[in-house]
Amino acid sequence: MNKIYVINNMGERELFSPGKLLKSARRSGADKELADRVVGIISNQVRNEDRTLDIYRVMKSLLLKEERSVGIKFSLKESIRKLGPTGYPFEIYMAEVFKRHGFKTKVETFVKGKATDYEIDFQAEKEKNMYLAECKFHDDVGSRVDINVILIAYAGLLDMLGGKYCLNYKNDGGKIKRLVATNTKFTNKAISFAKCYGMDLLGWHYPEDGGIEKYIENMKLYPITILPSINKNLLEVFFNAGIIFCIDLLNMDEQKLIKNLHISLKDAQKIMFDAKSLLNNNEQRIG
């Protein structure tokens, strides 16, 4: 079989790997039979110079038709990117994710260092452990957080640790760590530096045993941007109403959505169907 090279999100040519597609499908909840079948269809269609972005879009479409809950989960990375700087700010979303994991959180606070003041995207505290978090949102699917971001975050931490706020917290028995959170990946140099100097990183597939996707999936904190039934106009309606997590829709029904958000019955039914499919996995397969 001839080798096929595709264009990845970094704009680089790489060998087409059915194994990567299989792993992504399985991670989204597809059983082996479904994953093998869908990957087989795509493998027969892919051509040289195809973009991986387009390949994954085709895969999402196939999964949605075969098993809707799997197809929806397959869109997790894209759904976080859809939060965007002009939609629902990534740092506010992340603070809420930490809050639902039992942390006491504050958004966009200022911490005085020894030399200057610092704006913290969010602060998360639990059991005398505090994270001072820096969020790096990237709309470009090929972007990476590099070592320069980590260097700046670490320098800021050193100064903050010398300030009155952090000194008082540490004297009271607390521990303070710097966290850099992103919706994308880190470069190897960024990871190496963070490991060496005790900084925590949270990104896509990092740490390997608990990246941002695991943090979301553990408590089913999927953003509503993951639902295919919610278009851009409806997203604005939900954001303005303060509804950001799909799981919060389970406390509502179609009539409540219609009354509170002034949307149509048809839209409300589609949205509730998708939300229940994603969270309860109780839908019928769609042919």
Q: What is the pLDDT of residues 84-126, one digit of tens each?
A: 766 688 999 999 999 999 999 999 999 999 999 999 999 999 9
> CA geometry: angle at 282 spanning 256 and 285, to 5°?
115
pLDDT at position 283, please? 41
Burial environment of residue 72 by CB neighbours within 10 A (0 to 12, 13 to 18, 19 or more):
buried
Domain count, the chain: 3
Tell me the average pLDDT of the chain.
Answer: 92
Whether residue 84 lies inside any domain: the answer is no
Whether residue 62 lies inside any domain: the answer is yes
pLDDT at position 1, please? 54
159 and 265 in a common domain:
no
Whether residue 83 lies inside any domain: the answer is no
Q: Does 7 score more than 90 pLDDT?
A: yes
Whether residue 239 lies inside any domain: the answer is yes
212 and 227 in a common domain:
no
Domain hosting residue 211, numbered range: 90-217
pLDDT at position 209, please? 84
pLDDT at position 84, please? 77
45 and 70 in a common domain:
yes
pLDDT at position 285, please? 34
CATH number of the structural domain spanning residue 234: 1.10.150.20
State percent of the chain over pLDDT 70. 96
pLDDT at position 234, please? 93
Whether residue 131 lies inside any domain: the answer is yes
Residues in the chain: 287
Whether residue 82 lies inside any domain: the answer is no
Q: Does 249 score more than 90 pLDDT?
A: yes
What's the rounded Cα separation, in Å, for the pair 220 and 166? 33
pLDDT digits (tens, 9 = 90+) for 165-222: 999 999 999 999 999 999 999 999 999 999 999 999 999 999 988 899 999 999 999 9
Q: Does 281 score more than 60 pLDDT?
A: no
pLDDT at position 106, please? 96
What's the rounded Cα separation, in Å, for the pair 151 and 173? 27
Residue type (1 letter), 38: V
pTM metric for this prediction: 0.88
57 and 18 in a common domain:
yes
pLDDT digits (tens, 9 = 90+) for 126-153: 999 999 999 999 988 789 999 999 999 9
pLDDT digits (tens, 9 = 90+) for 254-277: 999 999 999 999 999 999 999 999
Among 74, 107, 126, which residue terminates a domain?
74
Helix axis angle, 265-280 to 254-261, nearest 10°: 130
Among 164, 194, 217, which residue terminates a domain?
217
Q: Does 286 score more than 50 pLDDT?
A: no
99 and 15 in a common domain:
no
Whether residue 149 lies inside any domain: the answer is yes
Whether residue 80 lies inside any domain: the answer is no
Q: Find all residues with CB under 8 Å of 163, minimum gap 6, and list them.
A: 111, 112, 113, 114
